[in-house]
Amino acid sequence: MTPAKLRVVLATGNPHKLREVTEVLASPWLEVVPLGDFAGAGMPREGVKSLRDNALAKARAARDFTGMTSIGDDTGLEVDILGGAPGVSSSRYAGENASYDDNVRKLLGVLQSISRHERSARFTCWIALAFPDGREKLFRGHCAGHITFVPRGTNGFGYDPIFVPDGRKSTFGQLSPALKNRLSHRGRALRSLKLYLRKTYREMYARQDSNLRPADSKSDALSS
């Protein structure tokens, strides 16, 4: 008997992020449920201490509100010549209510006189997984590259139009969603998360199967 899907809550109100996460995690055994599907649910305010702490805060808040296994993430763009800024403040770089375009314009303005060889940067993504029983697991992904002088492309979101990953000539904003997910910081962290969730699902299947079968019966292997 195949168990029900593993259902996990994604703590985000960002439709672009929701789409990326569901695309990478897509599996017949897994269902990603946005936190917004739960009436009255709210997102915790992001702090300025670390991406890791923000991811944990989101996952914990979603788990505590829904009682379900939950995922939280936070991502930052770290520019070397700026000492890692905007970093944990990436989404608020141009102000608390800044738009994607506002943040991009500010960063390009700050880097206006900086040469191509000094525009190295990286995206870092932290993903936190929080279980109802209190267990927690963290996953991290990086993508190194550089910042362009002008935005290029309309795909993606955030700083994607001005970030070129190493080994490529196109920005994330010019890449197809599938290729971006294969190369990106979030894609890498999500694939590690997916492997862990698959292991969790197999263990859940094994427990249910052992409860249903006679003691001397062997469980069939679960296909991936």
Q: What is the pLDDT of residues 113-145, one digit of tens each?
A: 999 999 999 999 999 999 999 999 999 999 999
Which of 45, 210, 207, 198 lies closest to 129, judged by CA? 198
Band the pLDDT of 8: cuts 50, 70, 90: very high
Please write the tens of the pLDDT for every residue from 37-71. Answer: 999 998 888 877 899 999 999 999 999 999 999 99
- CA–centroid distance for 10 within its chain: 10
Task: Supply the pLDDT for residue 224.
Answer: 39
Domain ranges of the chain: 6-212
Can you give the pTM of this predicted structure?
A: 0.88
Question: Do 143 and 123 form a contact (C-beta atoms < 8 A)?
Answer: yes
Residue 73 annotated among the catalytic residues of the structure:
no
Distance separating alpha carbons of residues 107 and 162, to the nearest angstrom: 10
Please write the tens of the pLDDT for every residue from 89-120. Answer: 999 999 989 999 999 999 999 999 999 999 99
**Dihedral sign for Cα atoms in the order 4, 6, 10, 14:** negative
The bridge status of strand 120-130 relative to strand 30-34 is unpaired
Single-letter amino acid code for the residue at 109: G
Task: Supply the pLDDT for residue 1.
Answer: 54
The CA R_g of the chain, rounded to the nearest whole Å, is 20
Task: Supply the pLDDT for residue 209.
Answer: 54
**Active-site hit among 37, 53, 73, 74:** 74
User: Given a cut of 90, is residue 3 above it in pLDDT?
Assistant: no
Task: Supply the pLDDT for residue 211.
Answer: 55
Band the pLDDT of 146: cuts 50, 70, 90: very high
Is there a cis peptide before residue 132, judged by omega within 30 degrees of 0? no
Question: Do 75 and 123 form a contact (C-beta atoms < 8 A)?
Answer: yes
Domain 6-212 has CATH 1.20.140.10: no
> How many C-beta atoms surround the C-beta of residue 81 within 10 A?
15
Distance separating alpha carbons of residues 192 and 141, to the nearest angstrom: 9
Helix axes 185-212, 15-25, angle to 10 degrees: 50
